[in-house]
Amino acid sequence: MSLSMYQASAPVFQRMLRNLKTLLQKAEAHAEARKFDAANLLNFRLYPDMFPLTRQVQIATDAAKGAMARLAGVDIPSWEDVETTLPELIARIDKALAYVESFRPEQIDGSEDRAITVQLRSGPLHFTGQEFLLSFALPNLFFHVTTAYNILRHNGVEIGKRDYLG
């Protein structure tokens, strides 16, 4: 009895992407109720050299997309970062959800020892599939969903831990 690589990746990504979608839907309702431009949220950063909400959502979806592709050993589809509204960001989450759902467990299972290289600006990082999932892909996904949550909370959107956990 043990965890499979699929179980430790796809359903976790799906849950967090769905929760991120809920956060954005609540942000949209909040902006409508208060009659302010949702772009005020989308462009908000917790510090001048941090990414704004829009990028947090784009990177969260990229983290899920890249992790599935790398674990399965297929090319990572490239998605342009063109979203400028909450409905567009929600559509991007739906696209990421559909992409994660397109993988079958047998494409991911057995990827524990697959050699995975991630190119960062600072240079390449080399992982086994298991290291990649546990020390890069999951921490990264959770980071960007939590930071989106913190940006929205900081701006008074009425969301709670329960929305984050799902």
Contact residues for a second copy, defined by CB under 8 A = 1-5, 7-8, 11-12, 15-16, 46-47, 50, 109-110, 112-113, 122, 130, 134-136, 138-140, 142-143, 146-147, 149-150, 153-154, 156, 161-162, 164-166
Q: Which is nearer to a second copy, 25 or 146 (CB)?
A: 146
φ/ψ of 65, rounded to 5, equals -60, -50
Tell me the C-alpha distance between 51 and 125, whole Å: 22
Q: Which is nearer to a second copy, 85 or 150 (CB)?
A: 150
Q: How far is the CB of 127 from a second copy (least distance, A)?
A: 12
Query: Looking only at Cα atoms, what is the longest distance across the chain?
Result: 53
Q: Which is nearer to a second copy, 94 or 109 (CB)?
A: 109
Q: Which is nearer to a second copy, 11 or 77 (CB)?
A: 11
Q: How far is the CB of 109 from a second copy (least distance, A)?
A: 8
Q: Which is nearer to a second copy, 87 or 156 (CB)?
A: 156
Tell me the C-alpha distance between 17 and 159, whole Å: 15
Helix (H) or strand (E) holding 126: strand 123-128
Q: How far is the CB of 106 from a second copy (least distance, A)?
A: 13
Give the closest residue to 129 by CA, choosing from 116, 143, 148, 145: 116
CA angle 51, 156, 40 (to 5 degrees): 45
- Whether residue 84 contacts residue 72, with contact meaning beta carbons closer than 8 Å, is answered with no
Output DSSP code: residue 119: E
Q: How far is the CB of 125 from a second copy (least distance, A)?
A: 9
Q: How far is the CB of 19 from a second copy (least distance, A)?
A: 9
